[in-house]
């Protein structure tokens, strides 16, 4: 979707993406981490993302 999780189901775009001049026709991916995540979990997310982007 083009909006935030709290606007899921609506057609309203993200004000943050709009503010940084993001192209509304492009896709964007958001990761949410907390202090409960381990460094290993973050490393795994990065590794998977790198693998997907190489496709």
| In the chain, where the domains are located | 5-53
Residues designated catalytic: 6
pLDDT at 43: 98
Instruction: Specify the 3-state DSSP secondary structure of 25.
Output: coil
Distance CA 36, CA 55 (A): 31
**Tokens for 7?**
């606007």
pLDDT at 49: 95
pTM for the whole thing?
0.60
Arithmetic mean of pLDDT, 28-55: 94
């Amino acid at each position: 979707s083009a909006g935030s999780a709290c606007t899921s189901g609506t057609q309203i775009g993200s004000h943050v993406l709009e503010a940084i001049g993001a192209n509304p026709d492009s896709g964007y991916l958001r990761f949410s981490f907390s202090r409960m995540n381990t460094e290993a979990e973050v490393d795994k997310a990065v590794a998977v993302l790198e693998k997907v982007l190489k496709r």
